Structure 1
Amino acid sequence: MEPLTLSEPQPSPQNSLPTPEKTYHVLVGVTGSVAALKLPVLVSELLEIPGLKVRVVTTERAKHFYNPQEIPVTLYSDAEEWQTCVIRAWDMTKPLLFCPAMNTAMWEHPITAHQVEQLKDFGYTEIPCVVKRLVCGDEGEHQLEEENYWEKATRRCIML
């Protein structure tokens, strides 16, 4: 499965957001990566989509990268086990998106390629990252995107 390529959502004839016919639940999992800095932006953008209910599961290490008071939903914490437990219990008929944002040296390690391919083999969708200057100063291709990207990704999944 190829990484998700997003096109701009098509506006409705009245140029307004369509009223959702049902509620969609989004679970955001965040780990102890510098990409966790973007959690407040991600959650805020998701909450602007009509019909979405958002929950966040976070590791304690991730909380070092953002201010939990800036997250406008309840945060659920776990030591580290949630990552494997949630994914193992995932309803495979529902989309699961992942974004492997990390330092370039980590990205280039062969274990990472193996893990990303395994997730794709399960049918999960990779959200591609963008090239940006990393916190360490390197130029890297695996930085988490912002600016309405997650809204587009979520809308695309809802349409699936």
Structure 2
Amino acid sequence: MGMMAQSTNCILQVGKIEKGKPWDIAVVPWLHLKVPNGIKNESEAKFCQRKTSCCTLKHWSPVPDPKSWQSFMEPSSGRLPGLEATRPHMEPRATCSAAAPLVERQFRVLVGVTGSVAALKLPLLVSRLLDIPGLEVAVVTTERAKHFYSPQDVPVTLYSDADEWEMWKCRSDPVLHIDLRRWADLMLVAPLDANTLGKVASGICDNLLTCVIRAWDRSKPLLFCPAMNTAMWEHPVTEQQVGQLKAFGYVEIPCVVKKLVCGDQGLGAMAEVGTIVDKVKEVLSQHGGFQQN
């Protein structure tokens, strides 16, 4: 009797093809199959497409323990289309506590963080936002911002430049900065450093965050929290650039006077986290996304 080929447990993420919607916000079912040992990459796993003619293979990843399938089988309502495919190792975005009242769909906040020292406050800011019932949060970070916080301290999914490029392989793949702008109901850039302020005011989009902002749907609120040294804040171009962002319809959460990390005393520090969260609540209430208790 011939020996049966050994197999290993694998998870394939596939995007269901629907008429006119080749990978929309859509339907992202999980398919579980056993494939022979030795399959080491996505191209070798293409044969799995024959199992589901209506689907397109998006991700192949070996999973040593079948029990770990359960996390992939949980409902994925509100998740970005196709994004989990490139980052199967990441924990799902955290949401508010289980005690929070049920809502039809959570209000989605995309936090942008740039390379200001105030990025140190990102973990606290995200934690406070998650205390708001019905809120779902994701973060887009610039590379320089990563210097100021530890990803382990941020209890939501972080997206960076590498994700934009890693997930796009061919024309049918999703474009991350477009999917993010579709997903989010509100964008909060905190802190917004002088460099990114200048880029946004000028329309430059050379990283994931600035691409999201350039593509932003201006019918949705975008809040920004400037943060920079006092000398930079007082430069004449800063007022012009902040004014340009306001002309785009974006909402400023003004910086404050305090002793800065560099030792200078003056205007330029990012608004306090409590102030930022209160402003988010105010904007949510105006857009019907949050009810004051």
TM-score by length of 2: 0.46
The answer as to 2:193 corresponding to 1:67 is: no
Are the counterparts in 2 of residues 46 and 150 from structure 1 also a CA contact under 8 Å? no
State the Cα distance separating 1:18 from its structure 2 match.
7.5
The answer as to 2:287 corresponding to 1:125 is: no
Are the counterparts in 1 of residues 101 and 134 from structure 2 also a CA contact under 8 Å? no
* Structure 1 equivalent of residue 127 of structure 2: 44
Q: Which amino acid aligns with 2:218?
A: M
Deviations 1:4-47 (A, max 9, x none): xxxxxxxxxxxxx8875642111111111111011011000000
Are the counterparts in 1 of residues 141 and 209 from structure 2 also a CA contact under 8 Å? no
> What is the alpha-carbon distance in structure 1 between the residues aligned to residue 133 and residue 156 of structure 2?
15
Are the counterparts in 2 of residues 58 and 76 from structure 1 also a CA contact under 8 Å? yes
Identity %: 67
* Structure 1 equivalent of residue 212 of structure 2: 86
Deviations 1:105-159 (A, max 9, x none): 1111122111100000011100012211001111121212335222211111111
Among 213, 224, 229, the residue aligned to 1:98: 224
Q: What are the ranges of 5 or more consecutive residues in structure 2 without an aligned counterpart?
A: 1-99, 163-205, 287-293
> What is the alpha-carbon distance in structure 2 between the residues aligned to residue 28 and residue 147 of structure 1?
13
Q: What are the ranges of 5 or more consecutive residues in structure 1 without an aligned counterpart?
A: 1-16
How has the CA–CA distance of structure 1 residues 152 and 18 changed in structure 2, closer, same or farther, with 3 Å as cutoff? farther
> What is the alpha-carbon distance in structure 2 between the residues aligned to residue 33 and residue 88 of structure 1?
20
**Aligned-pair Cα RMSD in Å:** 1.8
Q: Which amino acid aligns with 1:70?
A: D
Q: Secondary structure at the match of 2:257?
A: strand
The structure with the largest alpha-carbon Rg is: 2
The answer as to 2:278 corresponding to 1:152 is: yes
> What is the alpha-carbon distance in structure 1 between the residues aligned to residue 101 and residue 215 of structure 2?
31
* Structure 2 equivalent of residue 32 of structure 1: 115
> What is the alpha-carbon distance in structure 2 between the residues aligned to residue 150 and residue 21 of structure 1?
25
Are the counterparts in 2 of residues 106 and 112 from structure 1 also a CA contact under 8 Å? yes
Are the counterparts in 2 of residues 132 and 139 from structure 1 also a CA contact under 8 Å? yes
Are the counterparts in 1 of residues 116 and 145 from structure 2 also a CA contact under 8 Å? yes
1:6-25 correspondence runs (5 A):
22-25=105-108
How has the CA–CA distance of structure 1 residues 20 and 151 changed in structure 2, closer, same or farther, with 3 Å as cutoff? farther
TM-score by length of 1: 0.83
* Structure 2 equivalent of residue 4 of structure 1: none
Are the counterparts in 2 of residues 42 and 146 from structure 1 also a CA contact under 8 Å? no
> What is the alpha-carbon distance in structure 1 between the residues aligned to residue 130 and residue 212 of structure 2?
22
Are the counterparts in 2 of residues 41 and 146 from structure 1 also a CA contact under 8 Å? no
Residues paired across the two proteins, number: 144
State the Cα distance separating 1:89 from its structure 2 match.
1.2
> What is the alpha-carbon distance in structure 1 between the residues aligned to residue 151 and residue 220 of structure 2?
28
Larger RCO (CA under 8 A, 6+ residues apart): 1
> What is the alpha-carbon distance in structure 1 between the residues aligned to residue 152 and residue 113 of structure 2?
16
